A and B are shown apart, each in its own frame.
Chain A
C-alpha cells in the first residue's frame, strides 16, 4: 500500500476511534440517546473496507459511524445526527442507527439484523441491469449470518451471478451470544462455500482488509458473480451502550485488544515509511480537532422544526397535493 493511502487510512481509523470515544462521552452526558453501537476495535476493518470499495454501493448495519465518515460523510453531519439535530445527515430523524447518504452510495443503517442483505442483492441486480461495473458491497455481522435473509441472498446472488460482495464482519458475538453457541462453526464463510468464492481476512489488519476488498471487488467487476469475504474482528465495547458486556472474560478481552488495528497501522507506517511518533501524534491531534469541531457543531446545531415530523413520509408532490 502506498504511503499516501496508508496515511489516509490511518488518519480515518484514528478519526473513527476519536469520534466513537466522543460519542460515548456525549451519550453519558445525555446529548445522545437511544441505541448507540460503538465500532471501537473494529475501525481497521470499517475504514479499509470503505477506502477499498471506493466506487459502488455500500449497505451496512447500525454500527456504522466510522464507515460513514470513512466513506466521506462530514463528521459534523454524523455527530449532529447522533445528537438528533436538524443539521444531521438524516435531519435528526434517524439517529445513530440510520445514516443514509445516497450521494456517497452509502446506505448505512439498517437496524433490522440481516434486513439490508436482500436490499443489496436487489441493488446489485439493478446495477447490473443499468450496465454499471462498480458492484455492491454488503456488510453484516456474524449474527446476521444465521438468518433467513442471509441464506436466501446467497442463493439468489449466486443464481443470478450478481456483482455483489458479501462481507461478514465476524466479531464473534451477537449481543451476548457467542457465534459458536448458535452456529455449528465459528467461520461463517463456510455457509457461502457452495455458492461462491470465499475468503477470510484478519479484520484487525487494515492493510490486509484493504487488499482483500480490492481483490474481491475486481473479481465481481470482472463478472465472477458474488464473492464472500469474512473479516475476523473484535469489538472492545458492549454491543451498545446499554450492554455491560459481562459475558466476555478479562482474558478474552485482553487477547482481543492485543491485536489493536490502530497500533498495527502505526507500526506499519513506522517500518514501511519511517513515520515518527511526532508525526503520528500530529495525525492524532488533527483527528481530535475534527471531532471537537464536529461535537461543537452538533451541540450548537438547531433542533428540527416540529413540522418536520410529517415530512418525507411520502414524496413532496403528494404531500403538497394532499393526496
Chain B
C-alpha cells in the first residue's frame, strides 16, 4: 500500500465509523486532493463531508476550530507547510489554546494535515518545514508520519483524538510503498525503532528516516560498528523513554533533520541528551541538518541545502572516528 493510500484509508475508515468526521481544504473533494490523499471520498461521503474550500488557509483552520467547538471532528488539509503560515494565527492562538483558556470546557477534536519539506525543485516558497515552530506551541500534538504503517494508525488516532493534532506528512513520501498491519496496536506517541544497533543512536523523522537508512550501511562498514535508527514519530510530546533506552545502550546520539539547522527541531533532542543523559554519553551529540538558506530551485544547490544519504554517512563516520569508534 502507498503512503497516500494509507492516509486515505485512515480517513475513509474514520468517516465511515463516525458521522461527525468532515474533511475540508483546497481541492480535497472533487479533485481528490493535490496529493490524492482524499481521492474517491467525495463519491462515498458527499460534498457536505468533503468540503472544497476557497484558497483561504486562515479560514480553513479557523472554520475547523469552530466546527470542532460545535462537536464535529474536522480534518483540515493544507496543501503544503508554506501555506499553513497563513493559518498560523488560527493554529497557535486558537486551536492550541482554547482548551486551556476555557479551563477545559472547550475541546477541539481536530486535525490539521499538511506535507512539508524539500520535494524536487519547488523553490523557496514551497519547500519549507515548520515542525520546529509548531512543536514549540503548548497545546498542540505534533505527529510526523515517516512510515506507511504509522501513517495509517497515527492518522486514525489523530482524527479520533480529543486534542488538536498537527499531522505532518512529507512531499516525497506519498508514493512510498509499505505494509500496513491493520490489526496492529500502534501507540502514535511511541518512537519507532527502525533498525536495532548497539553503538550509535540515530534519531530522525519524516523522509530523513529513509535517508538515514540509506546512509547506515556505509557508516557501519566504515566504522565496523552498528547503528540504531529511531523514527521519532511524535515530535510533541517526545518519547524520551525510547530515546533513553537506546542512548544508554549506545552512548552516542546523532539527530538528522531536513530543515535549517539554526533553531531547528533536532536541537530539542540534542539538548535533552546533554541535559538529561550527559553521564551516559561517550561522544558529543551532533545534529545533521539543512543549511541556513532558503531552498533554491537549481537541483544541485537544492541538494546542497539539505542532508543527503552521502552527507549523512560522511558526517557520522567522521564524527565516529574522532570520538573513539
A-facing mask of B18-60, CB < 8 A → 1, else 0? 0000000011001100100000000000000000111110110
Q: Cβ of B121 and Cβ of A95 under 8 Å apart?
A: yes
Interface: B122 (CB within 8 A): yes
Q: Cβ of A309 and Cβ of B304 under 8 Å apart?
A: yes
B-facing mask of A205-242, CB < 8 A → 1, else 0? 00000000000000000000000000000000000000
Cα distance A110–B30 in the bound complex, in angstroms: 26
**Residue in B54, B56, B125, B298 whose beta carbon sits within 8 Å of that of A112 in the complex:** B125
A-facing mask of B287-325, CB < 8 A → 1, else 0? 000011110111111001100000000000000000000
Interface: B126 (CB within 8 A): yes
A242 CB to closest chain B CB (Å) equals 9
* B297 surroundings in chain A (CB, below 8 A): 34, 84, 90, 92-96, 98
Q: Cβ of B31 and Cβ of A147 under 8 Å apart?
A: no
Cα distance A181–B31 in the bound complex, in angstroms: 12
Interface: B281 (CB within 8 A): no
Q: Cβ of B53 and Cβ of A34 under 8 Å apart?
A: no
Cα distance A261–B53 in the bound complex, in angstroms: 31
Q: Cβ of B296 and Cβ of A309 under 8 Å apart?
A: yes
Interface: B83 (CB within 8 A): yes
Q: Main SS of the interface on chain B?
A: loop
Q: Cβ of A177 and Cβ of B123 under 8 Å apart?
A: no
A-facing mask of B260-295, CB < 8 A → 1, else 0? 000000000000000000000000000000011110
Once A92-B298, A146-B56, A183-B54 are accepted as A-B contacts, the answer to whether A35 and B293 lie under 8 Å apart by CB is: no
Once A97-B125, A112-B82 are accepted as A-B contacts, the answer to whether A309 and B299 lie under 8 Å apart by CB is: no
Q: Cβ of A313 and Cβ of B292 under 8 Å apart?
A: yes
Once A92-B297, A93-B301, A247-B31 are accepted as A-B contacts, the answer to whether A34 and B120 lie under 8 Å apart by CB is: yes
Q: Cβ of A306 and Cβ of B300 under 8 Å apart?
A: yes
**Residue in B31, B124, B126 whose beta carbon sits within 8 Å of that of A176 in the complex:** B31
A149 CB to closest chain B CB (Å) equals 8
Q: Main SS of the interface on chain A?
A: loop
Cα distance A36–B293 in the bound complex, in angstroms: 23
**Residue in A90, A94, A247, A310 whose beta carbon sits within 8 Å of that of B30 in the complex:** A247
Q: Cβ of B121 and Cβ of A84 under 8 Å apart?
A: yes
Q: Cβ of B301 and Cβ of A304 under 8 Å apart?
A: yes
Once A92-B301, A313-B292 are accepted as A-B contacts, the answer to whether A34 and B54 lie under 8 Å apart by CB is: no
B210 CB to closest chain A CB (Å) equals 20
Q: Cβ of A93 and Cβ of B26 under 8 Å apart?
A: no
B142 CB to closest chain A CB (Å) equals 23
* B305 surroundings in chain A (CB, below 8 A): 309
**Residue in B52, B121, B294 whose beta carbon sits within 8 Å of that of A177 in the complex:** B52
Cα distance A95–B304 in the bound complex, in angstroms: 16
Interface size, chain B (Cβ < 8 Å): 34
Chain A interface size range:
35 or more
Q: Cβ of A182 and Cβ of B52 under 8 Å apart?
A: yes
B312 CB to closest chain A CB (Å) equals 18
Q: Cβ of A177 and Cβ of B27 under 8 Å apart?
A: yes
Q: Cβ of B27 and Cβ of A97 under 8 Å apart?
A: no
Q: Cβ of A93 and Cβ of B298 under 8 Å apart?
A: yes
Q: Cβ of A33 and Cβ of B299 under 8 Å apart?
A: yes
Q: Cβ of B54 and Cβ of A146 under 8 Å apart?
A: yes
Q: Which B-chain residue is minimally distant from A111 (CB atoms)? A: B125
Cα distance A9–B291 in the bound complex, in angstroms: 44
Cα distance A121–B9 in the bound complex, in angstroms: 45
Cα distance A182–B17 in the bound complex, in angstroms: 28
Q: Cβ of B121 and Cβ of A174 under 8 Å apart?
A: no
Once A98-B124, A183-B54 are accepted as A-B contacts, the answer to whether A176 and B301 lie under 8 Å apart by CB is: no
**Residue in A33, A147, A181 whose beta carbon sits within 8 Å of that of B52 in the complex:** A181
Once A147-B55, A306-B304 are accepted as A-B contacts, the answer to whether A35 and B122 lie under 8 Å apart by CB is: yes
Q: Which B-chain residue is minimally distant from A305 (CB atoms)? A: B301
Q: Cβ of A182 and Cβ of B53 under 8 Å apart?
A: yes
Interface positions of A from 110 to 128, Cβ below 8 Å from B: 110-114
Q: Cβ of A84 and Cβ of B299 under 8 Å apart?
A: yes
Cα distance A309–B303 in the bound complex, in angstroms: 10
Cα distance A123–B191 in the bound complex, in angstroms: 49
Q: Cβ of B55 and Cβ of A114 under 8 Å apart?
A: yes
B77 CB to closest chain A CB (Å) equals 13
Q: Which A-chain residue is minimally distant from B82 (CB atoms)? A: A112
Q: Cβ of B31 and Cβ of A177 under 8 Å apart?
A: yes
* A174 surroundings in chain B (CB, below 8 A): 26, 54-55
Interface: A186 (CB within 8 A): no
* A92 surroundings in chain B (CB, below 8 A): 296-298, 301
Cα distance A175–B34 in the bound complex, in angstroms: 9
Cα distance A177–B50 in the bound complex, in angstroms: 13
Q: Cβ of A148 and Cβ of B58 under 8 Å apart?
A: yes
Q: Which A-chain residue is minimally distant from B122 (CB atoms)? A: A34
- Can you sample 12 A-B contacts with CB below 8 Å? A33-B121, A93-B124, A95-B298, A147-B54, A147-B55, A176-B27, A181-B52, A247-B30, A306-B304, A308-B301, A309-B304, A310-B291
- Extra 20 A-B pairs, beta carbons < 8 Å, given A111-B125, A181-B30: A34-B121, A35-B126, A84-B121, A84-B298, A84-B299, A92-B297, A93-B296, A93-B297, A93-B301, A94-B123, A98-B125, A111-B126, A147-B86, A148-B58, A177-B31, A181-B52, A182-B53, A306-B300, A306-B304, A313-B294
